[in-house]
Each structure stands twice: as C-alpha cells, then as structure tokens.
Amino acid sequence: MVRITRVYTGTGDDGTSSFVDGSRHEKSHLRFDVVGTCDELNSILGMIIMETNRLQTHEDGGKSSSVNRVKRVVITALSRIQNELFDLGAELACMPNKIPEQMELVSEKQSEMLIVEMDAWLEHLEPLKSFILPSGESPEAVIHFARTVTRRLERNMVRLLNVEGDGSVRKLALIYVNRLSDWLFVLGRWVCHCLGHSESLWEPLAKRELSDGITDLIKKINSNDNDFSLID
C-alpha cells in the first residue's frame, strides 16, 4: 500500500530527480519530458471529467437521457484511462530492463479494449466527409485538446527511442499511446453526436471566401459604440 506523508523532499533542489530505479538525472532529461507529458495528459482527462460532470440535464426525456448516457460512459472510461496513464508514467520513468518486477504494465489487453470501444462508438457515427476542426462545445473541445497532447506524448516517446536506442521504450507502450489518440478522436465525435452538437468541419481554401474576414464586423461594432457614446 502506498503511504505518502510528505510531498516535499528537497532532494530536487539541485535540478535533478530520480528514475523509478533510483538513479538520479537532470530534470531536463528527455525521459522526464516524456513522463511529464504523460502527467499533463492525465490532468487534461481530469478536465474532461469535470466538464462532463457540468453538463446540464433537462426534464425532457431525450436530452436528459443523452446527457446521462454521456456522463456514465465518459466518466467510467476516462477514470480507467487515468489509472492506465498513471501506470504508463511510472513505467516510462526508467529503462524497461530496470522496471521493478512487481510493477503492473500496460499490456496488449488495454490496447485491444480501446479498439473494441472505438468500434462500438463508430456504429452510431456517420463516416467523415471532411476533416474536423479541433473546436466545439464542452466537453468535446477539451477532448480534442487531450488528443493533441496524446500525439505529443507519442512523439516524445519516439524521440526517446531514437536517442536511447532499441529497448528504451516498450513497443506495447508505444502502441497503447497511438491507439489512445485515435480513441479520444472517436470519443469526441461520439459525445458530439449524443449531445446533438454540430461538428466543425474544415473547408478547403478554394471554398472559403474573403468575406469571411471580420473587418466589416469590427467597423460595425465601432460605429455602434460611437452611437452609444452620444446617449446621455
């Protein structure tokens, strides 16, 4: 059982910190960057849970039912993923060949679970006809944010692999993170669908007109401000 009685230790005041195996390294070490990104992602998942909990239900059956469904699925799923990311962060905090024997590792089972869940969500979604802009209402916008940070975690893991060589990152860990970014993308689409929100689709440059600029809007707002200033 973990027992933490004091958070501060002072041992990191010199700019170093410990890997899981006990060895100390500069905090600028690429492996700490990987672990930090994993922690950052986990924190963003906490934000998604917070935003999901804030969703308002209404008395009408349809809306209330959809919101409750989204809350149950998102909170249950992300609570599981948060635990898995905590496991992953601990694993990434040292070389794979120095991982303590008792440590639980993310396995193929977790990656397969992500695929099964994606397939279940996709049964209710229309095929994409354009790319989706990372925006939308809450919590979809935060899910997009989490997806991009997951990709950054993946890039950092590959960079660590390139710097420290084969065996510095477990292949199954890398596969899991790659699957997770796809999972978050599909989750965002499913949440958007269930809540009746509209996806923001990318339009090619040739289809976007210059009239989309906001110059005229700004001038109109300034004009209205001047009119109001004349009122006593």
pLDDT tens across 83-94, in order? 999 999 999 988
Which stretches of the chain are DSSP H helices? 30-53, 61-92, 108-122, 140-164, 171-194, 215-229
Cα–Cα nearest to 105, from 115, 86, 95, 91 = 91
Please confirm whether the linkage preceding 139 is cis (ω < 30° from 0): yes
Taken as a whole, the chain contains a residue count of 232
pLDDT at 151 over 90: yes
* β-pair partners for 25: 17
User: Is residue 228's pLDDT more than 90?
Assistant: no
Look up tokens 């070490």; give the residue. 29
- Looking at domain 16-205, what is its CATH homologous superfamily? Cobalamin adenosyltransferase-like (1.20.1200.10)
The amino acid that residue 80 corresponds to is: R
pLDDT given for residue 12 in this prediction: 54
Does 62 have pLDDT greater than 60? no
Residue 61, pLDDT above cutoff 50: no
Q: Across residues 45-71, what is the average pLDDT? A: 84
pLDDT digits (tens, 9 = 90+) for 181-225: 999 999 999 999 999 888 888 878 777 765 567 788 888 888 876
Query: For residue 107, is pLDDT > 80?
Result: yes
Q: Rounded mean pLDDT of 118-142?
A: 89
Is the model's pLDDT at 7 over the cut of 60?
A: no
Domain ranges of the chain: 16-205
Output the six-digit token pair for 165: 């060589």
pLDDT of residue 175: 97
Q: How would residue 134 be classed by pLDDT, with cut points 50, 70 and 90?
A: confident
Residue with tokens 């959809």: 66
